[in-house]
Structure 1
C-alpha cells in the first residue's frame, strides 16, 4: 500500500561497554577475568580442579546483566537444579535481584519446558507425562510380562538392568547389540528379545503420551535440528548460553548446545577434560576436546590457579595429568606452597584396609579433628560394607551418603502418582501404581481395570461404574478422592487432600518406618 513505510528492528550484534558496579579486576584472577570479560562468540573455559569454576560462572552472569543483557536472554545449563539455583543466588547477592530471572536448570528441565511449548512440531501433545527411572522400570516389567519373557528358559534380565541397557543405548546412540557386547555380554543370549522389548517400549510410550528422561533430550535435539523456525525463536530468547561441567555431557547434549548456538554463537562451556567421571552414564569427554572443531572461532581460556589444595597435592596431580595421551595441558598451582605430601598405603586385603582407615580416623580425633571433618570416599557404595562393620566395631559414628533421592522414594512416588492422574487421566503408569496400593487389587486385577479405564472417555469418573461389583467396592475410596481432586484447582489443596487419603495406606504399606516417611511427605 502506497504511503506506508516499513521499518525492520535489527537484533543487536553487541552491547556497549559501560561503568560497572562490581570491581571484576579485584575479585578475579587474570584467567577468570578473561573468561568473564569474553561475552561475545564461542568460549571454552578449561577450569582445573579447585580453580574457581563456579565463581567464574557467577561473575559472568553478573557481568552480562550489568552490561545490559536482559536476564531472560541468558540460559545457564547445569547438571543439577540445585547447582543452578546456587549460582543464580550468588549472582543476585553479588549484583541484584535481576540475576534470579536468568533461566537456569538442567538439560532435562530445559527440554521439558521447550517441548511443552513447541513439541507439537514433532507430534507431541503438550500434556505428555515424564517417566522417571522407577516408572521406566515399571513399564519395562509390564511389557516383559506381556511378551512372555518372564517365562524364559534362562533367566531374563530384571527391569533395572533392562532400563540400564536401553538408557545406555539412547545416551551413547549405539545399537542395543553393541551396548550388550561392550557392557553386558552376559545378556547376549537375550539380545533379540531385548531389542523386541525396546520396540514395544517405544510404541507404548508413543501410544500413551509418555517420555522418559532420555527422550526429553532426543526430542529436543530433533526439534532444534529439524525445525529451523523453532530453533530461531529459541535463539532469539536465549541469546547467551552457558553450560557447566561440559566434560560430562553426552553426545546428544553436545548436539543440543551446538544447535542452540548456531544463530548467535554466544556459547560458553566450562569443564575439565581431566575430571570426566560419568562415562558409565554415557558421558563422552571428547565433547570438550572437540568443542573448538564444532565452533572453529572459539576462544580457549585455561584457569590453573587452585584455591583448594596445597602445592604437594597439586604436584602429584600434575605428574599424573602429564601422562595423559590427549587433552588440554595445564599446570595447577597455588599460593599455599606448604603442606604434607599425599601418601599411598598398600594393604594385603580389604579387612586390613578398613582397620587402617579406622586407626587413622581415631588418630585424627585424638589430634582434635571433629569426626564430621573427616571423609572416606569410595567408587561405589557397596565398597563401604566392610568399613561400616569396622567403624561399628570401634563405635565410631558415621553418616553414609548415597541411595535413592527423595523424589524416587516409594512413598513420595505414591503421593505424586495420585496428583499426576489429575494432570493426565490417561497416565497408565500412575494408574498402575495407585491401583496396586489398594487392598485386594493385584497385578491381574489392576491390568483389567487399566484396560477398562483407557477405553473410557472420562477415566477419572469411570471408576465408579466398573462392571465388577466386588472390585468397584474396593475402588470407591479412590474414586471419591479423584472426584474431590478434580474440583480443586490449587495444588497445595490437592496435595493435602491426597495426604489425608494416603496416610492410612502409608501406615499399612510401611509399618516399620511410616513416621519417618510421613515426615518426608
Structure 2
C-alpha cells in the first residue's frame, strides 16, 4: 500500500496526525504524544521518511531515549524501515562513546572506568569519614548525589539547599558534605566516574575543546529525542552542546507521563519548547489506539487542568478492540 498523496509507503502506514509529524522534517519540531497514540511509530517513520526522501543522511541522525530497552526498540524498528544506519542510543551511551573516543586525544590514556553502582564506594567513603550509615541511607545518599549532578547543582548551591532541605536519613548536613567529598576523592584515586559524570565530562570536553565540538557537530546533524518530558538539566545541556545553536531537533513527549522527576528530570523543557523556539512546528497525537473510550474518558478527566495535558480520543468504537483500530 502507498500513500495516495505522496506515493510513499512509509506515510501510508500512519494516521493523519502521525503523518503530519512524519512530514515535519525541517527545523525545531515538538510532537506532543498522549499514551497509546503511536508516538514510536510516528518518530521512526519520520526518521525513515527523512532518510528515504534524501532529507537526512542516516549516518548523521541521532535518536535519543532514556533506557537501553527503548533504544533497542528504536533500532529494531528503524532497521525494519530501511533506516538501520541511524544511531539510536540513550543519552549516557551516546555521551560515553564520545568520551571514550576523545579522552585519549584530549587528556591522554583511556577514559576512566564507569562505576556500575555507587554503593560500594560510598561505603568506603563512610568508613573514611567515620560516619555510620545503613544500606538504606547509602541508597538515599547515592540518589542525592545523582539528583545534584543531573540537576547541575554546584556544591556551593548544594550547601545552601542542604541547610534548608536536610540530609538523607539521620545524617547531618556536615556528614553528608563529608561523604560527598570523600566519595569524589575515592573516585579520583581509582580513576573512576559514575554515570552522571559521563554526561558532565562529555559536556565539559565539548565546551572547553573547540576541535571536539566541531567534530561532534559534524558527526551528527539531526537529533530526535523520545520521552522528552523526562530530560534532566544535564541531558538538556548536553543536547544543546551537540546542537551547537542549530535547530535540527525533534522532541517527543507527554508532560502527563513524567516518571523521573525524583531523579532530576523536568517536564519544563517540553512545556517550554515553544517559548524557546517560537516558530517550532507543534504536532499533537491525541488518537488513542490502546484503550477503550471509557478508559480514555477517565484518563482525560484525571489529567484535566494539568500543565500540558492532552485531550485524547479513543480510536476504537464503544466496546471495540482498541488494538484493531489503527496504527500504534
State if a TM-score over 0.5 links the two structures. Answer: yes
Output one character per residue of 1:422-478: Cα deviation in whole Å (capped at 9) or x when no partner: xxxxxxxxxxxxxxxxxxxxxxxxxxxxxxxxxxxxxxxxxxxxxxxxxxxxxxxxx
1:165–1:180 contact (8 Å) kept in structure 2: no
1:165–1:176 contact (8 Å) kept in structure 2: no
Mapped to 1, the partners of 2:84 and 2:318 lie a distance apart of: 40
Which structure carries more relative contact order (alpha carbon 8 Å, separation 6+)?
2
Partner of residue 311, structure 2: 331
Specify which of 81, 84, 88 is matched with residue 100 of structure 1: 84
Cα separation, partners in 2 of 1:20 and 1:339, compared to 1, 3 Å? closer
Specify which of 171, 178, 184 is matched with residue 161 of structure 2: 178
Partner of residue 51, structure 2: 65
Mapped to 2, the partners of 1:293 and 1:228 lie a distance apart of: 29
TM-score by length of 2: 0.86
What SS does structure 1 have at the residue aligned with 2:89? strand
1:312–1:337 contact (8 Å) kept in structure 2: no
Residue 199 of structure 1: CA displacement?
Answer: 1.6
Cα separation, partners in 2 of 1:182 and 1:285, compared to 1, 3 Å? farther
Residue 93 of structure 1: CA displacement?
Answer: 1.8
Residue 176 of structure 1: CA displacement?
Answer: 5.5
- Within 5 A, what are the aligned runs for 1:215-294? 215-294=197-276
TM-score by length of 1: 0.55
2:217–2:243 contact (8 Å) kept in structure 1: yes
Partner of residue 165, structure 1: 144
Residue 63 of structure 1: CA displacement?
Answer: 1.0
1:172–1:282 contact (8 Å) kept in structure 2: yes
Partner of residue 176, structure 2: 194
The CA RMSD over aligned residues, in Å, is 2.6
Residue 305 of structure 1: CA displacement?
Answer: 0.8
Cα separation, partners in 2 of 1:318 and 1:286, compared to 1, 3 Å? same
1:248–1:276 contact (8 Å) kept in structure 2: yes
1:111 aligns with 2:99: no
Partner of residue 193, structure 2: 211
Mapped to 1, the partners of 2:166 and 2:59 lie a distance apart of: 42
1:166–1:198 contact (8 Å) kept in structure 2: yes
Between Structure 1 and Structure 2, which shows a larger proportion of helix residues? Answer: 1
Output one character per residue of 1:118-173: Cα deviation in whole Å (capped at 9) or x when no partner: 2357747433100022xx211111121122223x9xx8974323212211221223
Cα separation, partners in 2 of 1:29 and 1:183, compared to 1, 3 Å? farther
Partner of residue 69, structure 2: 82
Cα separation, partners in 2 of 1:222 and 1:295, compared to 1, 3 Å? farther
Mapped to 2, the partners of 1:128 and 1:80 lie a distance apart of: 22
From the CA coordinates, give the structure whose radius of gyration is larger: 1
1:52 aligns with 2:34: no
Residue 106 of structure 1: CA displacement?
Answer: 0.8
Between Structure 1 and Structure 2, which shows a larger proportion of strand residues? Answer: 2
Output one character per residue of 1:289-335: Cα deviation in whole Å (capped at 9) or x when no partner: 122233343221111111101112111211222222x32x5221123
Aligned residues: 311
Cα separation, partners in 2 of 1:81 and 1:20, compared to 1, 3 Å? farther
Residue 101 of structure 1: CA displacement?
Answer: 2.1
